[in-house]
Amino acid sequence: MANVWSSKITFEKGELHLAGLSAKSLGREFGTPTFFLDEDDFRARATSWGSALTESFGAAAGSVYYAGKAFICTEVLRWVAQSGIGLDVCTGGELAVALAADFPVSKIQVHGNNKSVAEIRRAVEVGVGTIVVDSLIEIERIAEAAAAAKKVQAVLLRLTPGIEAHTHESIATAHEDVKFGFSIASGAAWQAVVAVRQHPEIELRGFHGHIGSQILSMDAFGIAADRLIEFLSLYRDEFGYELPELDLGGGYGISYLPEDEPLLPAQVLPALHRAVTTACAKYSLELPRISIEPGRAIVGPAMFTLYEVGTTKEVLLESGKTRNYISVDGGMSDNIRTSLYGAEYTTVIANRTSTAKVRESRVVGKHCETGDIVIRDIDLPEDLVPGDLLAVPATGAYGRSMASNYNHVPRPPVVAVKNGQARVIVRRETEADLLALDM
């Protein structure tokens, strides 16, 4: 049974505590819904991915790039920088947060399948370490931007190795029929190699592959590594030298439910090392420098969402059974993952113990939509009442970062907690914020 809670969560007399602060006191001070971020847990995960890469790969260790799309704000980026790892951004907006946080630009890697001319120019001008190229059109844009800035821009080519990873369709990325990358099988990848070599302003460092997200088994990563390394060998065969870098992307799964066994750095990096060394031996290549891009695995487990129960309602089902609908004060505006991907979560009553019988329940939000579900099916005590607090673990990745203002619900704050101290690092939106854009 994996633990769904971050490392500084404890339960004292049935009440959830984070780094010594009780759910009740946190709820009183910061309101609900709120994302609470376990700072020590986040920092430890960022550090352990970095050190596991170095331990497994030694001189062939490239960089861990934290995938900022999972969650970023300036404070969290300062922690990322302090942990020594790099950052993956995929839009100008994420790059702007990184620049505002004074993130070391040479450790930034820029992604995106439709980077605008302005985004590319800015990335080149500020001096990002790497741009991961996703289309032929982009190659011309990078060359122009680099020529204008009188720079040589380092790039990787994003390749689709043609793998079906076992995850939800919307978050699987490396089969053939997707918008990302250059397909190896169709010849597009080779075409991109030829195109990029036309430009002295661009330095091709190697290849990149990202096969999907929330993947709980290492098999697909090994197959992807083999295909990318085979492609590195084709490059060597044609041009007579080896490219020095390979980025294997992110996608390492976490436990949303106690039965999910997460992919942890101590297991992932040795497995990647085995796959990479085997493939390099097979194709007679030196080990390239290996980079990875975990997002969810660093921030996902580090946050939980605290909601307050507002209403409960018993609904008679066709089967003759009943279901208890528990409505909380957030929903699809702070966690769209249940409706979008059928994601599963668990929850506990955070403010007290209950010895009441459990009942089939559904935790729903406050939005004007039937699909506004936080947890579709869960057994919860039948004595849940308005005012009770529900804590939903593992909401750090793609929760706040995908939050919306649907129904004009202000987005929740993020509160960092460490050693008995809690501080707001992203404040709650207000009604004034909601009106601020109206002319």
In the complex with ligand LLP, the residue whose CB is nearer, 139 or 263, is 263
Which letter, b or e, does each residue of 16-55 get, where b requires 16 or more Cβ atoms within 10 Å of its Cβ?
A: bbbbebbbbebbeebebbbbbbbbbbbbbbbbbbbbbbee
156 makes contact with ligand LLP (CB under 6 A): no
Contact 263/222 with Cβ under 8 angstroms?
no
Single out the residue of 35, 304, 307, 398 in contact with ligand LLP (rule: CB under 6 A). 398
249 forms part of the interface with ligand LLP (CB under 6 A):
yes
Comparing CB distances to ligand LLP, the nearer of 70 and 146 is: 70
Judged by CB under 6 A, the chain residues 188 through 227 that form the site for ligand LLP are 210, 213-214
Stretch that binds ligand LLP, among 98-106, 249-257, 258-266, 267-275 (CB under 6 A): 249-257
Least separation, in Å, of the C-beta of 351 and ligand LLP?
Answer: 28
Residues 6+ apart with CB under 8 A from 98: 68, 72, 77, 87, 89, 105, 108
In the bound state with ligand LLP, the residue whose beta carbon lies nearer, of 293 and 308, is 293
Nearest-approach distance from CB 39 to ligand LLP, in angstroms: 19
The total of other beta-carbon atoms located within 10 Å of residue 284's CB is: 10
Q: If DSSP codes are grouped into helix, strand and coil, which group holds residue 360? A: strand
Closest to ligand LLP by CB, 98 vs 309, is: 98
Q: Contact with ligand LLP (CB under 6 A): which of 250, 365, 393, 413?
A: 250
**Closest by Cα among 69, 255, 266 to 171:** 69
Verify binding: residue 403, ligand LLP, rule CB under 6 A: no
- What the block records as the tokens of 135 is 């289309």
Q: Which is nearer to ligand LLP, 74 or 91 (CB)?
A: 91
Binding of ligand LLP by 397 (CB under 6 A): yes
Question: Residue 396 Cβ, how far from ligand LLP at the closest point, in Å?
Answer: 10
Beta bridge partners, 391, equal 306, 348
d(CA 174, CA 426): 34
**Is residue 171 near ligand LLP by the rule CB under 6 A?**
yes
Number of C-beta neighbours around residue 177 at 10 A: 6
Question: In this complex, which beta carbon is closest to ligand LLP, that of residue 304 or of residue 398?
Answer: 398
Which one, of 204, 193, 116, 190, lies nearest residue 152 by Cα?
A: 204
From 114-122, 288-296, 324-332, 367-375, span contacting ligand LLP (CB under 6 A): 288-296
Q: Which long-range contacts (CB under 8 A, 24 or more apart) does 335-339 make?
A: 335/305, 335/374, 335/392, 335/395, 335/399, 335/403, 336/402, 336/403, 336/404, 337/398, 337/399, 337/402, 338/373, 338/374, 338/375, 338/376, 339/371, 339/372, 339/373
Interface of this chain with ligand LLP, residues 333 to 372, rule: CB under 6 A: 337, 341
CB contact at 8 A, 328 and 374: yes
- According to the binding rule CB under 6 A, does residue 295 interact with ligand LLP? yes
Q: How far is the CB of 211 from ligand LLP (least distance, A)?
A: 10
Based on CB atoms, which residue is closest to ligand LLP, 179 or 408? 179
Yes or no: say if 117 and 141 are a contact pair by the CB < 8 Å rule. yes
- Candidate residues 38, 293, 329, 334; the one interacting with ligand LLP per rule CB under 6 A: 293
Min separation Cβ 205 and ligand LLP, Å: 16
Structure tokens at 60: 């062939």
Q: Strand 202-208 relative to strand 153-160: parallel, antiparallel, unpaired?
A: parallel
Cβ 307 to ligand LLP, closest distance in Å?
Answer: 19
- Provide the minimum distance between the beta carbon of 308 and ligand LLP in the complex, in angstroms, as a whole number: 24
Both tokens of 125, joined, read 């001008």
> Is 90 annotated as catalytic?
no
Q: Are 310 and 137 in contact (CB under 8 A)?
A: no
Active site residues: 368
User: Which residues of this chain interact with ligand LLP, rule CB under 6 A?
Assistant: 67, 69-70, 88, 111, 171, 210, 213-214, 249-252, 293-297, 337, 341, 397-398, 402
